[in-house]
Amino acid sequence: MSEDAITSERIRNVAIIAHVDHGKTTLVDQMLKQSGAFRDNQILEDRAMDSMDQERERGITIKAKNTSVRWNDHVINIVDTPGHADFGGEVERVMNMVDGVLLVVDAYEGPQAQTRFVLKKALAAGLSPIVFINKIDRPNARPNEMRDEVLELFLDLEANDDQFDATFLYGSAKDGFAINNPEDPIENTGVTSLFDAILTNVPPPRVEAGDEFRMLVSNIDWSDYVGRIAIGKILSGRANLGDAVWRLRKDAPPQRAKITKIFEYASLATSEVRQGIAGNIVGLSGFEEVDIGETIAAHEESEPLPFAEIDPPTVMMTFSVNDGPYVGQDGDRVTSRELHERLLREARTNVSIKFEDTGNATEFKVSARGAMQVAVIVEEMRREGFEVLVSRPTVIKKQIDGKSHEPFETLY
C-alpha cells in the first residue's frame, strides 16, 4: 500500500498485553510471518521482537516495542509490551498510543497478577479489548473455563458494557492458528481470524479535528545516524519533513526544532517517509534533546498534552562508584560523572525509574518498581563497561495522615 493511500480510517493501533510466558511475543512472531512481512526464504528467529540481549537470555520482554503489519489494505500498528510487573511502566506509557488491546491468556494458567494489572490500566483508558486464549493444544488446557475467568476479571475491574462484550479467540501462538471456538477445526486456519477481529473490533485512532500538528512523545529511540528519535501517535494534523516544530513541557519554556526524518514502522524495521498523518504511530528526529511525556507541536502557543500518570516506585537502592582496591579491572567507566550521566539517561527514557542526588558526589539514589528492574539496569551497565556498587533494596514508605505506610501486593 502506498504512502498516499494510508488514511486514519485504515489504521489500527493495538497493544499486546499478557502475563509472563503466556505467549505474547510468540504471537507477534506469527502475525509478522503470516501477514507477509517477510520473504518466503527469509529466516525469522523466535521472539523476533525481543531485540535486547537480556530479553533473549531471560526469555522475557523488558522494553515496549513497535512494529507494523499490512492486512486487507489496513495498517495494524502493534505495540509489544512487557509481561513482568517490574516493567509495568513500559505498559502504562504506551496506553495513550493505542485504541485497543489484545489480551493473551494461557489456557491452563488463566489470568495472573500481571494480567490483572495491565488489563485494569487498559480498561480505565477506555480501550477496546480482544482476548486470545493461547496454548489450547496443551493436554491440560481449559479454554472454556478460562473464558469464564476472564469475564469475571472484567466484572471485577468494572469494564463497561462494550468492553465486557469483548471478542474471544482461541489458538496456539506456537503453532500459528486462531479460531473462534475451541471446537472448530484448526487445519490451515492461520491467524486470519485474529487479524479480522482487530480490524472489526479495534476502532480507528482517536484524533482531534484541525490541521495543527500535535504529538505526545510516548517512547524514545536512538540512532547513531540521526540521534534521538521521538516516538508517538500523531493526535492531530500532519508532520512533514522539514517542518519547524516546538517541544512543549509543563515546567520549561518551549524549544524550537526542525523535523529532519520521519519514520514509520514496517515489520522489524523502519522506513523513511516524507509525511506522517494523524492517527499513525511514527518516529521523528531532529531534536538535540527530547524526553518521554513532552508534546511536539506546530505552534509555540499550543497546550502540552497530558501524559498518563505512572504508578510510583516501590523500592530504592543506592548506586555508588567503585572505590575498592580492584577498581578498573572489570570495566573502564568508573568515575562519578560517568555514573551520574548514565543514571540520568536511564531515568529520562525509563519513566518508572526515579533518580536523585544524595549530596555525596559519589552516591546516587535510584527508585524502581522492583529488584528485577534494577538487576536489568545493573547488568546493562556492566556490559557497557561500568563498575558500580549497589546497596540492598529498601522498601519505599509513605507518610499518610502521619502514619508510615509501605507498598503491598494483592494476590488473587
Same domain, 92 and 197: yes
Same domain, 227 and 153: no
> Is 135 part of any domain?
yes
Task: Round to whole Å and give the CA distance between 24 and 47.
Answer: 9
Note down the domain range covering 196: 8-201
Q: Considering 201, 223, 247, which residue would you say is the last residue of a domain?
A: 201
> Is 60 part of any domain?
yes
Same domain, 189 and 95: yes
Task: Round to whole Å and give the CA distance between 270 and 263.
Answer: 6
> Is 410 part of any domain?
no
Q: How far is CA 204 from CA 92, 97, 127, 198, in A?
A: 20, 12, 12, 10
Q: What is the pTM of this model?
A: 0.81
What pLDDT shows up at residue 52?
58
Q: Considering 297, 329, 352, which residue would you say is the last residue of a domain?
A: 297
From first to last of the 412 residues of the chain, give the pLDDT tens digit. 444 457 889 999 999 888 777 788 889 888 888 877 655 555 555 545 545 566 555 666 556 678 888 888 899 999 887 756 666 667 777 888 899 999 999 999 988 877 787 788 889 888 999 999 999 988 889 999 999 999 999 999 999 999 999 999 999 998 999 999 988 887 767 899 999 999 999 999 988 888 899 999 988 887 778 888 899 999 999 999 999 999 998 878 899 999 999 999 877 677 889 999 999 999 999 998 888 889 999 999 998 888 877 778 888 999 998 888 778 788 888 889 999 999 988 887 777 788 888 888 889 999 988 888 888 889 989 999 998 999 998 988 877 888 887 776 665 5
Q: Quote the number of domains for the chain.
A: 3
What pLDDT shows up at residue 57?
59
Same domain, 182 and 120: yes
What CATH code is carried by the domain that includes residue 34? 3.40.50.300
What pLDDT shows up at residue 55?
55
What pLDDT shows up at residue 153?
92
* 3-state class (DSSP) for residue 323: coil
What pLDDT shows up at residue 116?
82
What pLDDT shows up at residue 169?
95
CA end-to-end distance (rounded Å), the chain: 46
Q: Considering 169, 201, 233, which residue would you say is the last residue of a domain?
A: 201
What pLDDT shows up at residue 1?
43
What pLDDT shows up at residue 284?
95
Task: Round to whole Å and give the CA distance between 230 and 292.
Answer: 8
Q: Take residue 77 and report the three cell numbers written for it.
A: 500498528
What CATH code is carried by the domain that includes residue 392? 3.30.70.870
Same domain, 24 and 167: yes
